[in-house]
Structure 1
Amino acid sequence: MNWIVAPFFMLGLAWAFLPDKSELRAGLILVGLGRCIAMVLVWTDLAGGDTEYCAILVAINSVLQMVLFAPMAVFCIRVIGHDADGVAISYSVVAVSVAVFLGIPLGAAVVTRVALRVIAGPAWYEKVFLRWAAPWSLLGLLYTILVLFASQGHAVVHQIVSVVRIAAPLVVYFVVIFSVTLWFTHRLGFGYALASTQSFTAASNNFELAIAVAVATFGPDSDQALAATVGPLVEVPVLLGLVYLVRYAAKRWRWK
């Protein structure tokens, strides 16, 4: 669902809804390729899902994104899209963007964990350092989101028609991927906690990475960056609504 169904479903929706807008289409494809590693933790917690299973999926998706994002972006935009209307994407630029946005924080976390556990001991690291660092990681995420949105605020306000055209396939994407995943996991006998976590993971996207790659590859004023920025504007209210929907479904199905 995360690396085959969802990305290619977004690819199909991008072509179906934006056949005449290759730049906006490319931005949507980047959103579809970015598997969620941040907000999904919030959705899972609000829905009463399995937070430990969610953490495992986040870790797996973080590693897979560093390996798969760049080649899949080139394949979906350059190979399948045939560089339509002059839309070109560089593998090296995308790969470097992903490495900077994901690789540096991951490397810093690994070094910090290993060094502090050796120097200060596991108990101090777990009980003191992590409790001190946890709020800063959330503030860092919020600051990143603020900067990314501020850079695209003018474009969002002044291209409202494009925003609406981008929002339509995104709504379809979030609802369909979530619903299909939830139905299949329910039919397969998953418990509510695992099924809801899997569904939110499949339906959510790493919009921060998509915006960063779009800005680095196509420029901050590009339509690709605009499309990637609209992603979270649609994702947040839709996924919040799905939180209430899945909790209602659990009660209706008496899903434990």
Structure 2
Amino acid sequence: MNGRVLIDNPENLVLITIPLLVGFVIVVGYNILMTKLFKMKYREAIITVIIGSSSHFEIAIATALTMSIAYPLAALGTTMGLFWEVPIMLSIVYLGRFLKKRGFWK
């Protein structure tokens, strides 16, 4: 798969992005609820949520490189996950600060 294919078929990016974002929301939500259930303090809870919600960048890059020849769409999915991970991790930090101010964590 080359760049021209992506430019000519942007729907591929959308089809891959939607389930990735839904998956991130589910995982982040689950991690936040678990930290509340276990009555974690903010300092432990926020790092637990961030690490637990990460898609492990290095492993994802290695997987994308390995699959790129035989399964280009799978490699694209892995790459899109990396693309979305940074803004999602930053959002988790802001969400964590917001929840802390609201007294969600002690």
- TM-score (normalised: structure 1): 0.37
Letter in 1 for 2:12: S
1:181 and 2:31 correspond: yes
- After TM superposition, give the deviation of residue 205 of structure 1 in Å: 0.8
Unaligned runs of 5+ in 1: 1-151
- After TM superposition, give the deviation of residue 247 of structure 1 in Å: 0.7
- After TM superposition, give the deviation of residue 156 of structure 1 in Å: 4.6
Distance (Å, rounded) in 2 between the aligned partners of 1:247 and 1:178? 15
Distance (Å, rounded) in 2 between the aligned partners of 1:197 and 1:169? 24
Please point out which of 14, 32, 41 is paired with 1:191.
41
Aligned to 2:83: 233
Aligned to 2:52: 202
List per-residue Cα deviations over 1:170-208 (Å, max 9, x = no partner). 111112211211112112111111111111111111234
Aligned to 1:222: 72
Aligned to 2:92: 242
Distance (Å, rounded) in 2 between the aligned partners of 1:251 and 1:153? 46
Letter in 2 for 1:249: L
Distance (Å, rounded) in 1 between the aligned partners of 2:36 and 2:2? 40
1:171 and 2:17 correspond: no
List per-residue Cα deviations over 1:142-167 (Å, max 9, x = no partner). xxxxxxxxxx8825544421111111
- After TM superposition, give the deviation of residue 250 of structure 1 in Å: 0.7
The alpha-carbon distance between structure 1 residues 165 and 174, as it changes in their structure 2 partners (threshold 3 A), is same
Instruction: Indicate the SS of the match to 1:253.
Output: coil
**Would the aligned equivalents of 1:156 and 1:226 in 2 still touch at CA under 8 Å?**
no
Q: Percent identity?
A: 31
Q: Which runs of 4+ in 1 moved over 6 A?
A: none
**1:6-155 equivalence runs, <5 A:** 154=3
> What is the number of residues matched between the two proteins?
105
- After TM superposition, give the deviation of residue 220 of structure 1 in Å: 7.8
Q: Cα RMSD over matched residues?
A: 2.4
The alpha-carbon distance between structure 1 residues 255 and 206, as it changes in their structure 2 partners (threshold 3 A), is closer
The alpha-carbon distance between structure 1 residues 218 and 255, as it changes in their structure 2 partners (threshold 3 A), is closer
Larger Rg: 1
Unaligned runs of 5+ in 2: none
- After TM superposition, give the deviation of residue 251 of structure 1 in Å: 0.6
Distance (Å, rounded) in 1 between the aligned partners of 2:2 and 2:94? 29
